[in-house]
Structure 1
Amino acid sequence: MESGDRPALRVVLLGGFRLLAGDEQVTVSGGSERLLSFVALCGQAVPRTLMAGTLWPDRPERRAYSSLRSALARLEGAGRQILDVGATEVRLSQDAGVDIEEARSLARRVLDPDTPTPVRDLSADSVESLSVDLLPGWYEDWVVREAEDWHQLRLHALEALAEDFIAAGRFADAVAAAGVAVRAEPLRESSHAALIRAHLAEGNQAEALRDYERYERLLETELRLRPTPLVSDLVAGLRAVAQP
């Protein structure tokens, strides 16, 4: 989306909550942050009863519903403008932007097996969008589920993006994308495989072997496991040559 087309009001959930009005960050209370985040994550009209029960799970139904009414009434300025509040449902206003929706769409485009990744998505901006977790430090059940789903989706997308960069001969970008995935999940074998393939495609055999050996040591130390052929076969020839 071009900068001139971006909605004036925007909810940012990747890396932490922010509410933006244009380029300005709007300050809202912690309770309002959670209310806006929940609606933004749902991506559609949310029944008031569902909001009340999810955001105030320890309160009786009547009190939870009352808490929701109070929370909505306390919203003002951009926090109020970004919501369409109905008698039974609440949704984001139609012109509001949500970064996680855009990032999910990017990940799905990259992972679509039937369509080549659009050229516009082969960029450092795409790697950056896939590098950040959803609402880190928030531990409510409704956040944790969404955060884990996003974490897995972005790792798969980063690995696929690394392969796309390799195919395009953009090896530095491939190493960057795979490296982000490795740092996010150091024990994830498919991410190490993507990184090693990127090094090998660029002709950097020593770096490929070093990454494999680091992964091998980490896997042994943490889990008492050995790498599977998914990654060990990539460097089998190099290891044979390197043996004294």
Structure 2
Amino acid sequence: MSEPLAESEPRTTIRLLDGFVLEHGPTPLHVIPGARRLLALLAVRQAPVSRAVVAAMLWPEATARRAAACLRSTLWRLAQPGAPLVEPTEDALRLGAAVDVDFHRACRLAATAAEAGTPDPGAVALLKADLLPGWSDQWLAAEQDWWHEARLRALEALSTRFRSAGDRHRAHQAALAAVQSDPLRESAHRTLVELHLDDGNPAQAVRQYRSYRSRLRAELGLEPSPEIHRLVGPLLGGRA
């Protein structure tokens, strides 16, 4: 008689989108600020980082000796039996191989957003989220800027794919998520205007255009491009 299958171990997950959360299975785990920043750094980099670089990035105001001591203390606090959260590799550190990271999945979705095939229905929920909002660490700024642009482009690409697949609901969701993330991004507004026109809602298309135009004028003193003018011009007697 065969023995019953053992229950699988709960997965450890780090969430970086819309804020930092460390979970073991469904249970959130408390992490001190220093350890939180270390885990976030290794999760964002997705590759081994030398100990000296980690210490200098996380404790930029400290001396090299003091920063190294802070790193050792933080690693000691993160030590746990079983699957480690942080793995040493020669003179470097990397995130534990068994740790799942939502940002990694989001990056993969962003990289494949324009590929042919049926889009992942859950992609919009991940791509509309910011990377560690509210964090102002110097090492993170460039990553946040990159992710902001990458996810906006991916959302627009997904909207086009959903639209081509006949899924207008998710096409609207993706385009609206891009607009909400960057209210001055004309390409996202243009996509929404096109979707409203395709759905036979000219009044909504005009409202979308006018809302964008008003905000663009108020915040930057600019006018919308001729491309979006041409979409709504026929609805306004040629006067956009």
Asked if these proteins are the same fold (TM beyond 0.5), I'd say yes
Per the alignment, residue 110 of structure 2 pairs with: 107
Q: CA deviation at 1:86?
A: 4.2
SS of match in other structure, 1:20: strand
Amino acid at match of 1:42: R
Amino acid at match of 2:118: V
Q: Which moved more, 1:41-50 or 1:168-177?
A: 168-177
Per the alignment, residue 154 of structure 1 pairs with: 151
User: Does the 8 Å contact 1:9/1:97 carry over to 2?
Assistant: yes
User: Does the 8 Å contact 2:52/2:68 carry over to 1?
Assistant: yes
Q: CA deviation at 1:11?
A: 1.0
1:33-83 deviations in Å (ceiling 9; x for gaps): 001000111101111011011001111111111111111112244898221
- Cα 1:120–1:6, aligned 2, differ >3 Å: closer, same or farther? farther
Q: Which moved more, 1:98-107 or 1:81-90?
A: 81-90
Residue 81 (structure 1) aligned with residue 78 (structure 2): no
User: TM-score, normalization: structure 2?
Assistant: 0.91
Using the alignment, how far apart are the partners of 1:79 and 1:30 within structure 2? 23
1:162-202 deviations in Å (ceiling 9; x for gaps): 11111112212111111111111111111101111111121
Q: CA deviation at 1:224?
A: 1.2
Of 131, 135, 140, 1:134 maps to 131
1:200-232 deviations in Å (ceiling 9; x for gaps): 121211111110011111111111111002321
Per the alignment, residue 168 of structure 1 pairs with: 165
User: Does the 8 Å contact 1:48/1:90 carry over to 2?
Assistant: yes
Residue 16 (structure 1) aligned with residue 19 (structure 2): yes
Amino acid at match of 1:59: A
Q: CA deviation at 1:234?
A: 1.4
Per the alignment, residue 140 of structure 2 pairs with: 143
Q: Which runs of 5+ in 1 are unaligned?
A: none
* Structure 1 residue runs of 4 or more that deviate by more than 4 Å after TM superposition: 4-7
User: TM-score, normalization: structure 1?
Assistant: 0.89
Amino acid at match of 2:74: A
Residue 65 (structure 1) aligned with residue 68 (structure 2): yes
Q: CA deviation at 1:235?
A: 1.2
Q: CA deviation at 1:135?
A: 0.3
Per the alignment, residue 118 of structure 2 pairs with: 119
Using the alignment, how far apart are the partners of 1:89 and 1:73 within structure 2? 16
Per the alignment, residue 199 of structure 1 pairs with: 196
Structure with higher helix content: 1
Using the alignment, how far apart are the partners of 1:165 and 1:180 within structure 2? 14
Per the alignment, residue 223 of structure 2 pairs with: 226
RMSD of Structure 2 on Structure 1 (CA): 2.2
Q: CA deviation at 1:108?
A: 0.8
SS of match in other structure, 1:119: coil
- Cα 1:5–1:239, aligned 2, differ >3 Å: closer, same or farther? farther
User: Does the 8 Å contact 1:39/1:91 carry over to 2?
Assistant: yes
User: Does the 8 Å contact 1:14/1:132 carry over to 2?
Assistant: yes
Amino acid at match of 1:71: T
Using the alignment, how far apart are the partners of 1:56 and 1:108 within structure 2? 32
Per the alignment, residue 206 of structure 2 pairs with: 209
Using the alignment, how far apart are the partners of 2:83 and 2:69 within structure 1? 18
Per the alignment, residue 238 of structure 1 pairs with: 235
Amino acid at match of 2:168: F
The sequence identity of aligned pairs, in percent, is 38
Using the alignment, how far apart are the partners of 2:82 and 2:23 within structure 1? 10
What pairs with 1:1-40 in structure 2 (closer than 5 Å)? 8-40=11-43
